[in-house]
């Protein structure tokens, strides 16, 4: 896909930019500091689409994205799986490292490595942004955890590669836009729903999918932020909203929910 304006959170060299380039190789990529900035740009139609991370195979979900999905009118139109290889990056010829900057998810994914090096972990808003921070401020005792692309973009030195604690380290990204998708026979649908705070309410919804032989691939709960200890549920399942079986199942599910919002149906991504 080409010719579109695509936003991502972070600085040039961020994993979100790498994912965006994988899906939009010939488009204009716009870095933004905060996830809220990305969703605001979607709302204002100043960009065509956005690429945002939703979960990591080791550290789990990006909760802020789930909260932002609740309010956006844009749809999920694709997903991207990206193999994450972390590097330890510093100023050229610098080997005396006492502290490491990076996004909290990246620091967590390299927890054992950092413990062995006996360095302090300092969270920042972005992996590539940490490289930029060290470069612009000439911080001599610090390194950043980020991608090879970030090291290349800022002309920094890679001290060590593949430092993540587990090598099956993947991040799943979502593409958000106004594009309409059609069934491909290899689809996934994401939705949010709320339930009455009564016994068996969640089970009654899951049972509808079981009756229809629709495979749930993920279920996640998030606080409603309106009443203590009440939750919204985010569910991914196989199938497309235009399929008859999915339509009838969702009609039955809707009757059991206080609200239901379809976030999008899209072709399932591949891990490679």
Residue 196 sits in the same domain as residue 151: no
- The answer on pLDDT for 2 being more than 80 is no
- The answer on pLDDT for 4 being more than 80 is yes
Which structural domain range is residue 127 located in?
87-161
Residue 98 sits in the same domain as residue 78: no
pLDDT of residue 227: 84
pLDDT in tens, 197-255: 889 999 999 999 999 999 999 999 999 888 888 899 999 999 999 999 999 999 999 99
Of the candidates 77, 124, 127, 171, the residue annotated as catalytic is: 171
pTM: 0.93
Closest CA to 71 of 227, 259, 269, 267: 259
Of the candidates 23, 35, 173, 193, the residue annotated as catalytic is: 173
Residue 173 sits in the same domain as residue 80: yes
Closest CA to 15 of 134, 133, 153, 112: 153
Q: Sign of the C-alpha dihedral, residues 40, 31, 175, 2? A: positive
Residue 219 sits in the same domain as residue 120: no
Here the CATH number for the domain that contains residue 227 is 3.30.70.260
Of 149, 177, 205, the position where a domain reaches its end is 177
| 171 labelled catalytic | yes
Three-class SS state of 201 = helix
Q: What is the mean pLDDT of residues 101-124?
A: 95
pLDDT of residue 234: 97
Q: To the nearest whole number, what is the mean pLDDT of the chain?
A: 95
Phi first, then psi: what are they for 47, rounded to 5°? -130, 160
Residue 79 sits in the same domain as residue 207: no
| 203 labelled catalytic | no
Confidence grade of residue 142 (pLDDT, cut at 50, 70, 90): very high
pLDDT of residue 1: 53
Q: What is the count of structural domains for the chain?
A: 3
Confidence grade of residue 89 (pLDDT, cut at 50, 70, 90): very high
């Amino acid at each position: 896909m080409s010719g579109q304006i695509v936003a991502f959170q972070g600085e040039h060299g961020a994993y979100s930019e790498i994912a965006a380039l994988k899906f939009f190789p010939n488009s204009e990529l716009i870095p933004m500091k905060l996830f809220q900035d990305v969703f605001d740009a979607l709302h204002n139609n100043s960009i065509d689409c956005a690429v945002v991370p939703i979960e990591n195979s080791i550290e789990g979900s990006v909760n802020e994205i789930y909260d932002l999905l609740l309010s956006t009118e844009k749809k999920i139109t694709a997903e991207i799986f990206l193999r994450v290889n972390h590097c330890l990056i510093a100023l050229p010829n610098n080997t005396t490292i006492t502290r490491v900057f990076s996004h909290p998810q990246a620091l967590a994914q390299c927890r054992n490595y950092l413990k062995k090096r006996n360095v302090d972990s300092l969270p920042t808003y972005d992996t590539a942004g940490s490289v930029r921070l060290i470069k612009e401020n000439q911080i001599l005792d610090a390194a950043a955890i980020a991608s090879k692309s970030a090291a290349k973009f800022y002309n920094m030195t890679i001290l060590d590669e593949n430092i993540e604690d587990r090598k099956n380290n993947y991040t799943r990204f979502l593409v958000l836009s106004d594009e309409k998708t059609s069934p491909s026979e290899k689809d996934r649908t994401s939705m949010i729903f709320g339930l009455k705070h009564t016994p068996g309410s969640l089970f009654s919804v899951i049972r509808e999918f079981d009756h229809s032989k629709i495979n749930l691939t993920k279920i996640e709960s998030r606080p409603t932020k309106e009443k203590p200890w009440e939750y919204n549920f985010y569910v991914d399942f196989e199938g497309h909203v235009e399929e008859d079986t999915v339509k009838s199942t969702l009609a039955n599910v809707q009757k059991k929910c206080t609200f239901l919002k379809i976030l999008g149906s899209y072709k399932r991504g591949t891990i490679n």
